[in-house]
Structure formats: structure tokens, C-alpha cells
Amino acid sequence: MYYNFNQYINLGANLEKDGCNFAIYVKNVSTLSLNFFNSSEDTIPYKKYILNSSDHKLGDIWSIFLKDIKEGTLYNWEINGISILDPYALSYTDNDIIENKKSIVLARIGTETKHILVPKKDMMIYEAHIGLFTKSPSSNTLNRATYSAFEEKIPYLKELGINVVEFLPIFEWDDYTGNLDRESFFLKNVWGYNPINFFALTKKYSSSNDKNSADEIKEFKKLVSFLHKNGIEVILDVVYNHTAEGGSGGKVYNFKAMDENTFYTKSKNNIFVNFSGCGNTLNCNHKVVKDMIIQSLLYWYLETGVDGFRFDLAPVLGRDSNSQWANHSLLHELIEHPILSHAKLIAESWDLGGYFVGAMPSGWSEWNGAYRDTVRQFIRGDFNQVPELIKRIFGSVDIFHANKNGYQSSINFICCHDGFTMWDLVSYNLKHNLLNGENNQDGENNNHSYNHGEEGLTYNAQIISLRKQQIKNMLLILYISQGIPMLLMGDEMGRTQLGNNNAYCQDNATTWVDWDRKKEFEDVFLFTKNMIKLRKSYSIFKKEIPLIEDEEVILHGIKLYQPDLSYHSLSIAFQLKDIETDTNFYIAFNSYSEQLCFELPKLENKSWYLLTDTSKVDSCSFEEIKWNDSSYCVLSKSSVILISK
């Protein structure tokens, strides 16, 4: 017997000229069949093909070629009597009851869009949830909470100055696992960190009502293409650290039936290891799993046109089958891959087993948790933060010194989907997660937040003004810092989740972007827009090689050349020189409870002009106002930028 080896190499359903080849990895199987259905609601197949090892098995790969199978055919595998979804399927039917879902046969069609290759130093990331971004009626979009609705908001992103969007997960996921069940219909996993497959695009954001079609793929590809045409890259938040199957007793979608010992890491006692916090941990460095992840990434990069990936709990990809940190792992292979190494690769460098920021293989960019915490604490007015703040503003070299990416190793952020929004960070001392149904036990307790006088909603104009001022202080730090800045959706317009810092299960007004707030926070929006424009205009804010001290950066305090780095210091100033344009900047931060007057450096043949002062609402437009005094008094809880002319 002669094997057609290709039918055992390409897993999934692969259409050919006169039929379709189906292939799957399965170990320790007694019965295996391929079942076909007329409708997504059918529970009994109209056709069943039983595979046998002599005709359909090569190693651990089972395969069958069937003639006259067309695109759109519905099917599932059945392993030892358990119906499973094909893990390589590009689309599933849209069934609320997971058990009724079917895999859909699709042709592999590429994309016409090309990667636009925004240089890392120029990236302005906007972290967004496709559904929540436009689900509110205030979004004024045609098909709210869809891929096409997000497309309608591209002009808004362009006005803001964004050139990279980072989408929360779009792999198909189960709404009801973990702490949620189908009885709690008002609570659903809305973030998407609960995948059942790494290839299938979710239909949850599709404008189509056809459960059996793959219209969502066309719609998503169109969104990516339009973003590219407008100069905006697309990064996907990808979840390869666990699946929705959970641990012992969890549901079976595919991998557990195929061979749970291949796909998941186990302890010596054969218990599911749980570095994800979701019941299981994907065995990412097993050859079979590693190949699947790489094929998944290549699909998204080459066939849908996305430009990069942010890896949720990335250290899991660096662990071997014994859960130990591997000397050479998938993390290394992605940096060395001839194609994927050219994608934007971003790591969330911590999991339940450890904190590895700065320990990723050279070439990765990493979410910088130290940056987030330091900026929050300095803005709140905590002591002993100034020396740390200087390190974070100037590229976190102490953390990323061994990374060839230089300053672009650091993804600088103050808020992300996981935690408080920026407005809630300055409005709440405590988390308020009771609506999540876990007695406020879920979510981070150590938020470094401060409500500035009243908890949550207030009508006190002075408190509201101070909160806005503090947001501007954080945005100013974010966009003058070396590294890659990332903004959470809606922070530019004061989005609130009413103090919920773990709103993964709130698909309601709690998490929807309220576009009406843009009017109320027009000054914050304008400030954000102009900070992004400033960063784009001067290379000094986005260096690729280390700054040259005494030439490009000089630290100051209230007195020139005398930065206060003491434990109780709450202020810092520095002078930056943009050599390309021969422009000087003077930037000062004051987190003290009183105003501080800073001496200004003397300039030759130029004068200082006030660009912005966060304590002044009318300073958000960045109109340059000549400053003739030899000093500048920075009010309490505010910051300033002066520019030389």
C-alpha cells in the first residue's frame, strides 16, 4: 500500500480539487468516526464514516479522503463515543449550546492586504475589545458590537493618532466555564480568555445571522484591510496557555479526547497543572502542541493579515512538560522563525508560577508591570518613587538591558483590560466587584489607586477637576517615556466600570464604551491627542539606542542640576534635547500637596514656551505661550512641558 503522506501532514479539513481530506491527531483510541450533519441543530448525523487503523492511520495521525465534499459541509469527529470539534477548523456553527456546535469545512483563502510594518519605535498601541467598543447605543454604529461596527470607528482612531490596535481574544470561546454556569444567564465570559480552538474566528462579533456560514472571516479580513489602508496595524491577544476544557471534571471539546497527556501538563500524581488559573495548562513544548500553535500563528499572520500577537501568560510557552522553565522553548523558536519573527511579538511575562519580566528571549517586547505600578504610585503621592520613576521613563534599562530590542523591549502601560480603567484608578480606593457574583473576592486588591476625596461617583467639581488633572499627568508620563506606549480603550474619554476591576463577565453598560462621555471629557481627549502628536513629532521621545546623558537628558530638581532622589521626594524635572530638530524640552512633575517652583535652564538664542500645564484646562490644545520668567511654579498634583523656540 502506498501512502499519500500529505494527507497525514496537513491536519484539519483540507479541500482539494475533487474532495476533502480530513486528518486528526488521536492517541489511545478504540473507535473513531467522522460524522456529517445537515444542520447546526442536528444531533444525529446523516452520514458516519468509521475509520480503521489499517487504512486510515499513520503513526498517531488518522486521515480519510472523501470525494464530493464541498465548502460549508458540517462535520465533527467522534472519539470513543464522544463527539468533538475539529481543533483545526477555521469556523464553527454559532450555537449557544456548545454540545450542538459543528465544525465547518472551508477553503483556505489568503488575504489581499499587506503588512504595513510600523517601526516599533513609532507604535502607538490602543487595546480594544471589538464587541464592547461599539455595543453601546451611543456608538451610533450600524451593526453594534461587530467587526464592521469597529470599522466605522477607524476615523476616530486616526483622529486620536493611534497606529496599532490590540484586540482582546477573538478565538472562538465558551461563555460559560470557570466560575460561570448557564443558569447565570446575565453573566457571561465576555473577554474571550477561554478558547476552544486556536484557528476559528468567533462569530460573536459577526454581522451575519447565518449560523452555518463563515461570513465572520470575510468581515474580519475586511476590517484588517481597512485598518491597514488607514495606516493602523492589528495585534491579536492570543491565548495559548490553556483551553476552556478546564481540569479534572471539566468539559471535553477536543483535546482531552484526542489525548489529554499530550495537550496538557500533568503533575507526577497525574493531576492537571494550573499555571493559568483556569484549571489546565497547555503543554506548549510538546512537538504536537508546538506545531499546532505555530500553524495557528501562521494562519492569522498570513491568511487574515494581522501584524502581530500579544501572548497571554506567555511564560507557559516557555515551560517544558514538567512545567520547568526551558532553556530552549517555543518562545525562542518564535524569535528564530523565518516568518513569525517578523511579526510583532509581545509577552505578558507572568503566570501563576512566576514573574519573568525581562527574562523573555531577546527580541520579545514585554508588558512592563513595573512601569504600571511605579507611575500609579508616584501619581498617588507615594514616597520613594522618584528613582524608580526615572528608570521607567527612560526605558527600564535595568529590566531589559539584555534585550536587543533596546527601549522597544518595554510595553509601557498604566491601565489595561485587566484592572481599573484610568478614570476608576483616580475615583476608587477599593474594587467594587460584587456584580461578578464572587462576593468581591475576585480581582486585584493592590491597585495603587486613590479616589481623591469621595469613593466613586461625585458631583464635587473640585474632585472631578483633580481626577482629570491626574489622568493628564499619567498620560503625559506615558507618552514622553522611552518604550512603546499602550492606551486602554476609552481612557481618553474617562471610561468607567464603576469600580469593577475584573469585569470579564459584564457584557452590559458596565463595560461598554459610553461615547457620550467624550463630550464631558473633551479636554482629556484633546490632551491625549496632542500628547500622541507631540511624541510622533520628536525623535527624543522614541529613541532606539540609549540616551546620551548630558547631551540628550539632564536631570533637575527645584534647583538646576540638583534632582531630589531622596525617600520623601515627590517631584522631578529634566531637560531633553531633540538633536534632529535642535529643540529643548523642560518637563517637571509635582506630586506634592503644595506648589513647587522650578528654576528653568538658560537657553542660548532661544526662549522657553509653555506647551502644556495639566493644572490648566485651557492648556490642552498645546498652544505655545512664551514664558519670560526664570522659573516656573508647578501647582500641586500637576506637570508641565516647556519647549524651546
Mean pLDDT of all residues in 203-209 = 95
Cα separation, 634 vs 645, whole angstroms: 21
| 285-297 pLDDT, tens digit each | 999 999 999 999 9
How far lies 81's CA from each of 46, 63, 261, 586, in Å?
16, 18, 19, 71
Cα separation, 439 vs 175, whole angstroms: 21
Phi-psi region of 189 (alpha: psi -120 to 50; beta: other; left: phi over 0): beta
Mean pLDDT of all residues in 235-248 = 96
* pLDDT score, position 1: 43
Q: Which position among 312, 424, 492, 507 bears the catalytic label?
A: 312
Q: Which position among 348, 351, 424, 613 bears the catalytic label?
A: 348
| 257-308 pLDDT, tens digit each | 999 999 999 999 999 999 999 999 999 999 999 999 999 999 999 999 999 9
How far lies 163's CA from each of 69, 233, 533, 622, in Å?
42, 6, 12, 21
Please tell me whether the overall predicted TM-score, pTM, comes out greater than 0.85 for this model.
Answer: yes
Cα separation, 31 vs 80, whole angstroms: 5
* pLDDT score, position 583: 97
Sequential DSSP letters for 511-571: TS--TTHHHHTHHHHHHHHHHHHHHHH-GGGS-SS---BTTTEEEE-SSTT----STT--E
Alpha carbon dihedral 144, 145, 150, 155, in 10-degree steps, equals 50
| 312-369 pLDDT, tens digit each | 999 999 999 988 888 899 999 999 999 999 999 999 999 999 999 999 999 999 999 9
Cα separation, 193 vs 170, whole angstroms: 9
What number of other Cβ atoms are within 10 A of residue 147's Cβ?
A: 27
Residues of the chain above pLDDT 90, percent = 90
> Grid coordinates standing for 200?
476559528
Domains, the chain, in order of start with CATH, read 5-105 (2.60.40.10), 123-246+309-322+364-400+411-537 (3.20.20.80), 553-644 (2.60.40.1180)
What number of other Cβ atoms are within 10 A of residue 81's Cβ?
A: 9
Q: Is 22 in contact with 33 (CB distance < 8 Å)?
A: no
Would residue 507 show up in a list of annotated catalytic residues for this protein? no
How far lies 523's CA from each of 17, 605, 616, in Å?
59, 34, 10
* pLDDT score, position 410: 98
Cα separation, 640 vs 645, whole angstroms: 16
Cα separation, 293 vs 290, whole angstroms: 5
Find the DSSP H helices in 211-266. Answer: 215-229, 255-263
Would residue 16 show up in a list of annotated catalytic residues for this protein? no
